[in-house]
Amino acid sequence: MTSPTEPVLTSYRRAAIIGGGVIGVSWAGLFLARGIDVVISDPRADIEDLVRTGLAEITPALAELGLPTENLTDGLSFEADLATAVAQADVVQENGPERLELKQEIWRTIEDAAPAHALLATSTSGIPASAIATALREPERLVVGHPFNPPHLVPLVEIVPGEKTSAETVERARAFYAALGKKPQVLRKEVPGFVANRLQSALFRECVHLVAEGVVTEAELDEIVTSSIGLRWAVAGPFRTFHLGGGPGGLPHFIEHLGRAMEDSMWPALGNPTFDEATVTTLVEQADDAFGRGTVEELAAERDRAQITLMRALGETPGSGCAHA
Amino acid sequence: MTSPTEPVLTSYRRAAIIGGGVIGVSWAGLFLARGIDVVISDPRADIEDLVRTGLAEITPALAELGLPTENLTDGLSFEADLATAVAQADVVQENGPERLELKQEIWRTIEDAAPAHALLATSTSGIPASAIATALREPERLVVGHPFNPPHLVPLVEIVPGEKTSAETVERARAFYAALGKKPQVLRKEVPGFVANRLQSALFRECVHLVAEGVVTEAELDEIVTSSIGLRWAVAGPFRTFHLGGGPGGLPHFIEHLGRAMEDSMWPALGNPTFDEATVTTLVEQADDAFGRGTVEELAAERDRAQITLMRALGETPGSGCAHA
């Protein structure tokens, strides 16, 4: 089922996915749809049911993205023993718990058991590759491949090299994720939260502040975002937006005029909320008002359909051939 | 040319647009396309040329949004004298310079000269209606109708009542902008920067930090945003996103687990950049690398076409009939 336009993927016949939670299942669905055999390694007794149920849930989205989904699970298998699971893998994507010692233990086992040619990536959202790799003999082989959840749907993969990750590993990871139809971005430094989560967190802090202060409700704030900055940032990032907002003078003009005003009067005025009891009560009550009418699964499916519609309109679905580097 | 589905607009035959800059021209194009006659009042000698050129530039976008643009300027006129310009207006949309004393002077004249039934709105992005209205006899009539630039294209209009703005004025403004095909949101409190610009500013602060620190370039950061949070926030705002990201437990679960971690370790780690010489040099050089190949006008037109494509896909163009409250 491999896309004939993706020769890179001919080197990736077998993937080991370590940890079959939400992220692992999403990666598994994407890998399988791209014709890569997947072995899931997860110690839970009911992992096979969990993964098969999860894959059935995301299959409609994979199909809407233009990916082949017939006989999707033909290449799927399970192997609780980690060393056995990775022994024939061309790529290992690890999605274990976010605990450094546990990840180090997992990766020591993988390093000993996986083939020398295997691409080794961790989905961690918070632990630097440098920290995990102190436990490895060949730290140059490990790289962070952090997806924005869910990986089968959101294009971004942040590739974050550790201090000792080799340039070759980084380039292999970039080419692999691009061939999957993702939009990999290689970061130049390891920083906590990487980039997308830091930005999301910065915006969300002000969201919590504005709701806690009673300026808007959650539902109103969400409407404001989708009808302004969300719509803008789906087609042009913040720097491009401000470059175009500065008139013919572009970003330099923007900085001199609006940027400095932002620094002087807006940034200091931004909120510093805390999740204290009153704030949490407000947030929870408003979430129930705004989102309480459907299950999370139903609402997520609705959101994902809208997002796929948007990606198709922009020619950015993995099946469209436009997302590849 | 009035859309037959918008009976609200039958009460708005004549608009006075005060200030014919970028925002004024954009409002004028939208009003005219909706069948509202527009008189522009601006003291500049070359205002007629400026406005006609500006309208010609945005006409293709109005047409792509599904609005009628034939004979668009038939209802357009110019009147430098402010009192004369507003004397027969059903709605006044003021887009003057962001200086309190000047706005107060403008609004005193408008209040004296405009018909008693006219809807009175200021596009200000930074001056509270309460402050302007201290100069008025009937402060209940003035409201902020702050568009996200450009008003003919971005759906959001923030309606921000001053302390004395009447509920009737707020409701009339909401109904008017909704009938134009916009997505008005009424804020519950006057805060500096209102909501959208505060959120944009919070995110941009971290953008500047990450580029200044060398974690990513401007172009890389923009790619990260468009391929993750931008895409998400175009279809679901931050609260809905985190409600759906919390699993079956929704936002309450998110707050207890990821929200508290965000407060403890992410928010304190966010950057506090300044536009010092080194930072500005980096930002300007990278903007030239990233955006220097086209004129701002060309790049903006390209961005706007992509945004209209996205709005059409989501059924959210003013002409689609889906954007109305």
SS (H, E, C) B59-120: HHHHHHCCCCCCCHHHHEEECCCHHHHHCCCCEEEECCCCCHHHHHHHHHHHHHHCCCCCEE
| Probe site for chain A from B266, B288, B302 (most A CB atoms < 10 A) | B266
Q: Alpha-carbon distance A212 to A177, whole Å? A: 40
Binary contact (A199, B229; C-beta < 8 A): yes
**Could you tell me if A170 and A232 lie in one domain?**
no
Domain count for chain A: 2
For residues B42, B44, B48, B54, the Cα torsion angle rounded to the nearest 10 degrees is -80
- Please answer whether residues B141 and B170 qualify as being in contact, where contact means their C-beta atoms are separated by less than 8 angstroms: no
> Does the residue A310 lie in any domain?
no
Q: Are B188 and A156 inside 8 Å of each other by CB?
A: no
Chain A 76-135, CB below 8 Å of chain B: which residues? none
Q: Assess whether pLDDT exceeds 90 at residue A38.
A: yes
Residues A163 and A135 reside in one and the same domain = yes
What is the reported pLDDT for A297? 86
d(CA A131, CA A137): 13
What length does chain A have?
325
Specify whether A163 is located in the same domain as A74: yes
B150 prior amide bond cis, ω within 30:
yes
Same domain, A74 and A223: no
A315 C-beta neighbours (distance < 10 Å), count: 12
Decide if A27 contacts A147 (C-beta within 8 A).
yes
Does the structure show a pLDDT above 50 at A144?
yes
Q: What are the pLDDT digits (tens) for A247-268? A: 788 999 999 989 999 999 999 9
Whether B206 and B182 share a structural domain: no
Q: Which of A204, A256, A317 would best serve as a mutation to test chain B binding (most B beta carbons within 10 A)?
A: A204
Among candidates B185, B243, B296 on the partner chain, residue whose Cβ is nearest the Cβ of A220 = B185
List all residues 6 or more positions away from B268 whose beta carbon is below 8 Å from its beta carbon: none
A137 φ, ψ (degrees, to nearest 5): -75, -35
Structure tokens at B238: 């931050």
Cβ contact A207–B238 (<8 Å): yes
Whether B231 and A149 lie within 8 Å, measured CB to CB: no
**Residues contacting residue B53 through CB under 8 Å, at least 6 positions apart:** none
End-to-end CA distance of chain A: 21
For residue B287, give the CATH number of its domain: 1.10.1040.10
Do B98 and B62 share a domain, yes or no? Answer: yes
- pLDDT reading at B269 higher than 70: yes
Chain A partners within 8 Å of B239 (Cβ): 207, 211, 218-219, 221-222, 283, 286-287, 290-291
Examine the pLDDT at B322 and tell me if it is beyond 80: no
Closest-CA residue to A195 (of A131, A255, A125, A133): A125
| Closest of B203, B119, B197, B207 to residue B158, by C-alpha | B197
Domain containing residue A125: CATH number: 3.40.50.720
Write out the two tokens for B38.
């527009």
Domain end (from A130, A162, A186): A186
Evaluate whether residue A60 is within a structural domain.
Answer: yes
Per-residue pLDDT band at A322 (split at 50, 70, 90): very low
A269–chain B nearest CA distance, Å: 8
Q: Do A314 and B309 lie within an 8 Å CB cutoff?
A: yes
- Which A residues 146-175 touch B at CB under 8 Å? 148-149, 154-156, 158
Task: State which residue of chain B sits closest to A273, comparing Cα positions.
Answer: B263
Answer yes or no: do A234 and B310 touch at CB < 8 A: yes
Interface membership of B305 toward A (CB under 8 Å): no
Name the band, by pLDDT with cuts 50, 70 and 90, for residue A292: confident
Q: Is residue A304 part of a domain?
A: no
Within-domain flag for A247: yes
Chain B contact for A324 (CB, 8 A cutoff): no
* Other Cβ atoms closer than 10 A to A273: 19
Pair (A158, A203) in one structural domain: no
Residues A102 and A182 reside in one and the same domain: yes
Side by side, which strands form the sheet with A142-147?
A76-78, A37-41, A14-18, A91-94, A119-122, A142-147, A156-161, A183-186
Q: E-strand spans in B129-187?
A: 142-147, 156-161, 183-186
d(Cα A238, Cα A232) in Å, to the nearest integer? Answer: 9
Q: Determine, yes or no, domain membership for A300.
A: no
Closest C-alpha among B229, B61, B158, B52 to residue A204? B229
Contacts of A231 in chain B (CB under 8 A): 154-155, 234, 307, 310-311
| B251 located within any domain | yes
**Those residues with Cβ within 8 angstroms of residue A233's Cβ, 6 or more apart along the chain or in another chain:** A241, B225, B226, B229, B230, B233, B234
A35, part of any domain: yes
User: Between A and B, how many residue pairs show a Cβ–Cβ distance under 8 A?
Assistant: 362
**Contact of B10 with B2, CB cutoff 8 Å:** yes
**Distance of alpha carbon B77 from its chain centroid, rounded?**
24
Count Cβ atoms within 10 A of the Cβ of residue B43 and give its class: 0-12 exposed, 13-18 middle, 19 or more buried: exposed
Measured distance CA(A264)–CA(A176) in Å, rounded: 44
Residue B2 or B148, more confident: B148
Please provide residue A39's backbone torsions phi and psi, each rounded to the nearest 5 degrees. -110, 130
* Residue A296: pLDDT band with limits 50, 70, 90: confident
Which of residues 178 through 237 in chain B touch A, CB cutoff 8 A? 183, 185-189, 191-193, 195-207, 210-211, 213-237
* Same-domain status, A48 and A176: yes
Dist CA A297 CA A285 (whole Å): 20
B224–A237: do the CB atoms touch at under 8 Å? yes
Same domain, A206 and A148: no
What is the average pLDDT value for chain A, to the nearest integer?
93
In a domain, B1, yes or no: no
A54/B contact by beta carbon, under 8 A: no
Distance CA(A37)–CA(B252), nearest Å, equals 37
**Within this chain, do residues A181 and A249 fall inside the same structural domain, yes or no?**
no
- Provide, as residue numbers in chain A, all residues whose Cβ is less than 8 Å from the Cβ of B197: 266
Candidates A238, A211, A235; CA nearest to A223 is: A211
Whether residue B266 has pLDDT greater than 50: yes
Q: Is residue B101 within 8 Å of residue B127, measured between CB atoms?
A: no
What the block records as the tokens of A146 is 């952090």
Do A121 and A145 touch, CB atoms closer than 8 A? yes
Smallest Cα distance from A112 to chain B, Å: 32
Q: How far is CA B113 from CA A216, A304, B77, B93, B120, in A?
A: 34, 52, 18, 14, 12
CB B125 within 8 A of CB B187: no
Sheet containing B76-78: order of strands = B76-78, B37-41, B14-18, B91-94, B119-122, B142-147, B156-161, B183-186
Task: Tell whether B20 and B145 lie within a shared domain.
Answer: yes
pLDDT single digits (tens) A73-105: 999 999 999 999 999 999 999 999 999 999 999
pLDDT in tens, B26-63: 999 999 999 999 999 999 999 999 999 999 999 999 99
Classify burial at A89, counting beta carbons within 10 Å of its beta carbon; exposed 0-12, middle 13-18, buried 19 or more: buried
Tens of pLDDT, residues B92-127: 999 999 999 999 999 999 999 999 999 999 999 999
Last residue of a domain, one of B123, B156, B186: B186
Longest Cα separation, chain A: 62
The tens digit of pLDDT for each residue in A186-221 reads 999 999 999 999 999 999 999 999 999 999 999 999
pLDDT at B149: 87
Domain residue limits at A233: 196-293
Residue B243 has pLDDT above 60, yes or no: yes
